[in-house]
Chain A
Amino acid sequence: MDNLSVEHLTGIKDLTRQDIELIFKTADSFKEVINRPIKKVPSLRDITIANLFFENSTRTKLSFELAEKRLSADVINFSASGSSVKKGETLIDTVNNILSMKVDMVVMRHPNPGAAKFLSERISAKVVNAGDGTHEHPTQALLDAFSIRERLGSVEGKKVVIVGDILHSRVALSNIYCLQKLGAEVMVCGPTTLIPKYIHELGVKVEHNLRAALEWCDVANMLRIQLERQDIKYFPSLREYSMQFGLNKEILDSLDKEIIVMHPGPINRGVEITSDVADSKQSIILQQVENGVAVRMAVIYLLAAKIERH
């Protein structure tokens, strides 16, 4: 019970409900730590962590780095731009080179689905998936569920709608697994072209009308349109998308209840969410970012507990 059932965090799919609850309980303590005058604990002072980012990231990279530093780990950073990846080095070679420098844990973001799993089967260091293509982004889902638990007291029995580009979203898939494991009901909402055809087989509801989805839910998680992953046109124009699926103050106020609005960032203001909604008191977007550090500290701490001492 007090140990994770996994050796790496490659996806929420592999976690048990007990694992998620253990991570949350540990994150509660870290949340208290990061609100102290001195926001740092010495637990991981003999651990070295490499952050390998083969794809762009601002928030996730900063959040992981801060989490690692607040646990007193030594941190090295690597990003694909300006590295030997451009010179044709393979993923395994790049990572093995970094591991020869005695690294205990690897946090990796990679554009290819399954990259974290692939790596975890081939290296001795612990692997944390910080997003692998359109597959999973487990720490984002954990911090989303943690934020819902913080705001509503629990996740069990809550209704959560994920709105937007479900097809290209690793956040959506990880969120679906995580929320369902914790006993929440999940719905996805978006244009037909951006909803994967067989997604109902995961046990989620599908809705193409934003108002109907909002009337059903307690929490709305608004996703960004991932234009960088869309090789063809999935909808006529951003303006049309925004008119049908964008969350604005008008529609939010017309509901007969106060729902919670989330967004994993980065926000495209005026597309999936308007500024007044993003900055309203129903939005917990900035709490999500704060909780991200605590949740990542918990994940790293619990995985580091499993690293053998040399």
Chain B
Amino acid sequence: MIPSIFVSMEKQVILNSRHFELTLNRLCYQLIERHHDFSDTVLIGLQPRGVNVLARLKSQLEAILGTPVTCGNLDITFYRDDFRRRERPIIPSATNIDFVIEGKQVVLIDDVLFTGRTIRSGLDALLAFGRPKKVELLALIDRRFNRDLPIQADYVGKSVDTLSTERVSVEWKEIEGEDKVVLFTPEANG
């Protein structure tokens, strides 16, 4: 669902369903290059939208490897740095991490990397489950030049140059009906 303020915005598809699939495929092989059989690696999707990227990567990886990949979802609501700075509290989503990440290689997964604040909270939240050996970051879309914090992704689906007033939305076949990434730009004299 797109908030009403974006209705008057200009839409531009920056990743169509064909490229969407290619990109996810490439990310899978990049992960396999570094993590081989994933015996020491866990994938963690950030709630709410990173878990969609994770679900897709997980099924593709398992199809390629033929072995299960350990995955979990992480909610970062209680670790955010904007508690009491927003109009309304954010409703938390579920965290399901039923394994210990102590000594593991962790790949954090999110759909859009923007200011980097979500990832900062994610790193904090992760520590409640142990001390990982290494943490990497995968982002389907990297809105470079919009960072508030010194955080960069290790795996990037597509980098886009955006203004902070613009908005990037990743849409899914399962939820919105089609795999695509859309850039919303406020109209110049709107």
Query: Chain A: residues with CB nearer than 8 A to chain B?
Result: 2-3, 22, 25-26, 28-29, 32-33, 36-44, 71, 301-302, 304-305, 307-309
Contact = CB atoms under 8 A, between A and B. Distances in A.
A177 B10 CA distance: 50
A43 B78 contact: yes
Contacts of A308: 84
A28 B93 CA distance: 9
Identify the 6 closest CB pairs spanning chains A and B, nearest first: A41-B78, A305-B89, A29-B92, A38-B128, A3-B88, A43-B78
B84 A2 contact: no
Given A41-B79, A307-B84, A25 B128 contact: no
A25 B93 CA distance: 9
Given A3-B88, A25-B91, A37-B100, A305 B83 contact: yes
Contacts of A32: 94-95
Q: Could you tell me the dominant secondary structure of chain A's interface residues?
A: loop
B90 interface: yes
Contacts of A41: 78-79, 125, 128
A220 to B, nearest CB: 31
A71 B89 CA distance: 15
A58 to B, nearest CB: 27
Nearest to A45: B83
Given A29-B77, A37-B100, A3 B128 contact: no
B104 to A, nearest CB: 14
Contacts of B85: 309
B29 interface: no
B83 to A, nearest CB: 5
A307 B83 CA distance: 10
B89 A3 contact: yes
Contact of A40 (B83, B92, B128): B128
Nearest to B130: A37
Contacts of B91: 2, 22, 25-26
B130 A33 contact: no
Contacts of B94: 28-29, 32
Interface string B114-150: 0000000000110111100000000000000000000
Contact of B89 (A39, A301, A309): A301
Contacts of B89: 2-3, 301-302, 305
Contacts of B75: 29
A309 B95 contact: no
Interface string B71-111: 00001011110011100111111110000100000000000
Contacts of B80: 43
A162 to B, nearest CB: 31
A40 B78 CA distance: 10
Contact of B84 (A3, A29, A40, A305): A305
Nearest to A4: B89
A39 B129 CA distance: 10
Nearest to B80: A43
B31 to A, nearest CB: 26
Contacts of A43: 78-80, 83
Given A304-B84, A305-B83, 4 more contacts: A40-B128, A43-B80, A301-B78, A305-B88
Contact of A42 (B78, B88, B129): B78
Interface string B13-29: 00000000000000000
A26 B92 contact: yes
Q: Which of B84, B95, B128, B130 has the most CB of A within 10 A?
A: B84
A156 B90 CA distance: 26
A88 to B, nearest CB: 37
21 contacts: A2-B90, A3-B88, A3-B89, A22-B91, A25-B91, A25-B92, A29-B94, A29-B95, A37-B128, A37-B129, A37-B130, A39-B128, A41-B78, A41-B128, A42-B78, A43-B79, A304-B83, A304-B84, A305-B88, A305-B89, A309-B84
Q: Which of B80, B83, B127 has the most CB of A within 10 A?
A: B83
A71 to B, nearest CB: 8
